[in-house]
Structure 1
Amino acid sequence: MPLYEHVMIARQDLSNSQAEGLIEHFGAVLSDNGGKLVEQEYWGVKTMAYKINKNRKGHYSFLKTDASAAAIQEMERLMRLHDDVMRVLTIKVDAHEDGPSVQMQKRDERDSRRERR
């Protein structure tokens, strides 16, 4: 089955447990439609570049999935209808990277930038 990565932004006034509950809910939607949630990460509350629905911050979540296109479409449809979800981005990938995403890595562990001269 195809591999996908999703980033979801939920409203800032949710608690951390409610935001993580959204991840579990949409993972269950995937499994009901024959897909599988490979990995999930909760990135926490982050400040956005611009306001979305009068919110300056949002709960960011990252999902790695292995599911058919029909299961992904159903999950995205339900995400867009859910009142607590503000934005969703889905990308089809060839392979999932091992380990934590760049957002979860410590600054020292990331590839060092080129030094300026």
Structure 2
Amino acid sequence: MNKFEAVLLLSPDISSTLLKKEIDAFLGIISSNEGKIINEEDWGLRDLSYKIANHKKAFYQFFQIELIGSKIQVIKKSLSQNDKILRHLFVKVEDHQELPTKLQNEKK
């Protein structure tokens, strides 16, 4: 299993209930692809550096994941088909950082 960090940018137009459903759906996608969520952080509603799909803000969600590397493409394809997810990023890491991250600390 490889270690990854993932960030999802979700539409600012969704309700907190729908946001939770989208996060749960992502967790389900990871689980169904033999992955494991190690940690999760809600970075909240943040300004974007540039507009994405006519949005100036997005909800940021951060995840530390263990996953077989070959499954990433399947997950990315699934995320790309979801119009509530504006962007996603997966980065392979050697070891996961300790939480809370700097962005989580800034949220407080």
Q: TM-score, normalised by structure 2?
A: 0.90
Matched residue of 2:51: which SS?
strand
Q: Does 1:63 align with 2:63?
A: yes
Counterpart-to-counterpart distance in 2, 1:60 and 1:106? 13
Cα distance in 1 for partners of 2:75, 2:43 equals: 20
2 CA distance for matches of 1:23 and 1:39?
A: 13
Partner of 1:92: 92
Alignment correspondent of 1:11: 11
The whole-number CA distance in structure 1 between the counterparts of 2:103 and 2:92 is 19
Distance 1:37 1:72 in 2: 14
Q: Distance in 1 between matches of 2:67 and 2:7?
A: 16
Segment of structure 1 superposing worse, 68-77 or 56-65: 68-77
CA shift, 1:30, in A, is 1.2
Amino acid at match of 1:14: I
Asked whether the equivalents of residues 2 and 68 of structure 1 are also in contact (C-alpha less than 8 Å), the reply is yes
> What residue ranges of structure 1 are gaps of 5+ in the alignment?
108-117
Is 1:54–2:48 an aligned residue pair? no
Code of the residue aligned with 1:69 in structure 2: it is G
Q: Larger deviation: 12-21 or 62-71? A: 12-21
> Looking at CA atoms only, which structure, 1 or 2, has the larger radius of gyration?
1
C-alpha root-mean-square deviation of aligned residues, in Å?
1.5
Are the counterparts in 2 of residues 38 and 65 from structure 1 also a CA contact under 8 Å? yes
Alignment length, in residue pairs?
107
Q: Deviations over 1:78-116 (max 9, x none)?
A: 111101011111100000012211111159xxxxxxxxx
Report SS of the residue matched to 2:97.
Answer: coil
Higher helix share: 2
Q: Any conservation in 2 of the 1:30–1:72 contact (CA below 8 Å)?
A: no
**Distance verdict in 2 for CA 1:11–1:97, change over 3 Å:** same
TM-superposed CA distance for 1:72, in Å, is 2.3
How high is the sequence identity, in percent, across the aligned residues?
Answer: 27
Shift of the 20–41 alpha-carbon distance from structure 1 to 2, 3 Å rule, reads farther
Q: Structure 2: which 5+ residue stretches go unaligned?
A: none
